[in-house]
Structure 1
Amino acid sequence: MREELVAYLLRISEGKRLLVNHLLKITQQQSKALEEEDTKALEDLIQEKQTVMAKVDVLDKEFVEKYNLIKEELGIENLQEYEGEMSATFKELREKIAGIFKVIEEVQRLDQANTKKVKNNITKAQQNIKSIKTGKKALTGYNQPYKENPSFFIDKKK
């Protein structure tokens, strides 16, 4: 039973590895779109990323259920601390999980950098809006028709 569960987890992990690598590519494309300030491409990439993340969530839910069964059976908290006799598939599963975590860390690092880029782009946009408003105020000041003030006092020679 345990070997079947490990093989099943291995298949789930392979699917997750493919999806996480796809997330990494999308995140890299987001970074490029942010540098080019291509909002349309960025929106499309965000939608695609959400779809992939939803698929990862489904796999994670299934993985956790089976993973917990194995942990209970072995009496451990996680696979990394298990030091008993391991089959080749069990070792492969551990390696695959470690690889997935490395890719996820890279995605998180890129996401943090992308967040900084977004904040910088927002700051630039705010500065542009401010300068446009200042320019509009100056322009309206020059476009005002000249108003002649009436003279209340008329000097007469006596």
Structure 2
Amino acid sequence: MKENTEDHHSEKDEEKPFHLGKSQICNYVRINDFLFSDLKDLMDLGKLSIKSSVELSYLEEADQELVRDLINDGIRITDSKAKAIKKLSLDEGLTKESLERLLRHKDNEKKKLLKIPTILLKKYFGNKGEAEIIDILELALSKYFENSEK
């Protein structure tokens, strides 16, 4: 019975050498062949994910250098940002300005959540719905800032 088990394992090993799937191997080959060496170094340091690296490997080397400069300036490139950078590069080309505009826009898209303590909600809003609470807060804040500017 052991012999069959060993044969079974060796067949699996041939299908997935080093326990990597076909797409993972393709990603590593793509990164090795097309990603600028400085970005490979940043990937090795954990500042760039494999998925982001694959997306960025489609950029021209000059565009990859622009991305490297931004990462070195402290900008974090997420997988979704890398995908957006690739799209921008293919659609209209990259410049430092267009990259900064894209990344700033992506950061501004994030919603900021604010938790209001339950005691304040009950005290000022009773059983009002979320939309009404937002309207009241917007009105109150606009009046507050109008008065504070005087």
Q: Do Structure 1 and Structure 2 share a fold, with TM-score over 0.5?
A: no
Q: Which has the higher helix share?
A: 1
Per the normalisation by structure 2, the TM-score is 0.22
Per the normalisation by structure 1, the TM-score is 0.22
Larger relative contact order, structure 1 or 2 (CA cutoff 8 Å, min sep 6): 1
Which is higher, the Rg of structure 1 or of structure 2? 1
